[in-house]
Amino acid sequence: MRNNAKASILIGDFTRRFSIFTILILIIMKKIKTLPESIINKIRSSPEKSGLAYAKYGKFPNILDYTFEEIAEMHFGIYRDKKILLSDGNGFINLKEVVEAICILDKVTYFKKPTQSDYETGNHNSIKNIRTFYVKDYVLVTESKTEGITHHKITRWLNDIGAIKKGRHEYSGLFSNKNSFMTLQRFNDILYPKDLYHPIKKCVNELFFNHSGKVRNFRVESKIDIHL
């Protein structure tokens, strides 16, 4: 009992010192390619050549004040303190201005191979029969324009941090996302696959805002009608 009490105290102390937000960052950062120490040191020694926008969007004006983990985050376009993300088009998005998230779904694979009858009735597109989603793009829409546009692709970034994976063979050029939840979630009175929202929830809402529902205006663009 005494050992259990000590363990509880230690766990409580750990929780106080490391917020859920910090733990989440550690989990996500494990999915990001580790930068070799040589690259980190190169950035530190010649920050003006690194391309990092730490002076504008970071916490400190001096690169030497950042930890290795913080430099790795910025390398992948993450500036958490000012809620800034570098999009696939190399524009900096102010995530506080995001009003909508869009997933463009192109193809799916099935557990049970569809029959001709299924194609006629649409039964094969039941959420329980979907094995994997293949996405063309994820897009964040901002209220005001950044470099002349309001629609910003973040597909490559989501792939870089491990939220989605590159498709292979016939799915080359698309990005895969497993149907893990096998359920639909309601957004603006429309049901969409929960797994398609998950990258937005984890990598935008929780990573930057520590709030799973920060960006809730979500929709899926697709010719595939997925139902219960």
* Residue 107 shares a structural domain with residue 64: no
DSSP of 36-55: PHHHHHHHHH-GGGT---HH
Q: Is residue 198 part of a domain?
A: yes
| In the predicted structure, residue 16 carries a pLDDT above the cut 90 | no
pLDDT digits (tens, 9 = 90+) for 184-193: 999 999 999 9
Q: What percentage of the chain carries pLDDT values higher than 90?
A: 76
- The whole-number pLDDT of residue 9 equals 43
If asked whether residues 76 and 110 sit together in one domain, one would say no
Confidence bin at 150 (pLDDT 50/70/90): very high
Is the pLDDT confidence value at 81 over 90? yes
**Judgement on whether residues 97 and 81 belong to the same structural domain of the protein:** no
* Residue 226 amino acid letter: I
Q: Indicate whether 75 and 100 sit together in one domain.
A: no
pLDDT at 5 over 90: no
Report whether pLDDT(127) > 60: yes
Residue 45 structural domain: 2-85
Q: Are residues 206 and 116 part of one domain?
A: yes
Share above pLDDT 70 across residues of the chain, in percent, rounded to a whole number? 85
Number of domains in the chain: 2
**21 — pLDDT class (breaks 50, 70, 90):** very low
**Do 152 and 199 belong together in one domain?**
yes
Last residue of a domain, one of 68, 85, 102: 85
pLDDT band at 86 (very low <50, low <70, confident <90, very high): very high
Q: Does residue 81 sit in the same domain as residue 103? A: no
CB 108 within 8 A of CB 134: yes
Residue 48 pLDDT > 50? yes
- Based on the fold, state whether residues 54 and 101 are members of the same structural domain: no
In a domain, 228, yes or no: no
| Class of residue 172 by CB neighbours under 10 A (exposed 0-12, middle 13-18, buried 19+) | exposed
Residue 226 belongs to a domain = no
pLDDT band at 146 (very low <50, low <70, confident <90, very high): confident
Q: In terms of domains, do 32 and 16 share one?
A: yes
Same-domain check for residues 73 and 21: yes
pLDDT digits (tens, 9 = 90+) for 193-203: 999 999 999 99
Other Cβ atoms less than 10 A from the Cβ of 213: the count is 9
Does residue 43 sit in the same domain as residue 127? no
27 within a domain of the structure (yes/no): yes
User: Among 85, 105, 135, where does a domain finish?
Assistant: 85
Task: Identify the pLDDT of residue 28.
Answer: 52
For residue 178, pLDDT beyond 90:
yes
Which pTM value belongs to this model?
Answer: 0.83
48 is a domain residue: yes
Predicted pLDDT of residue 12: 45
Cα 63 from Cα 46, distance rounded (Å): 9
Strand bridging mode 98-110 / 218-221: parallel
Comparing CA positions, the residue from 166, 220, 147 lying closest to residue 190 is: 220
Residues 74, 95: Cα–Cα separation, whole Å: 15
pLDDT of residue 32 exceeding 50, the answer is yes
Which domain-ending residue is among 64, 85, 106? Answer: 85
pLDDT, position 36: 85
The verdict on 104 and 192 lying in the same domain is yes
**Average pLDDT score over the chain:** 88
Would 227 be classed as within a structural domain? no
In a domain, 137, yes or no: yes
For residue 162, being part of any structural domain is answered with yes
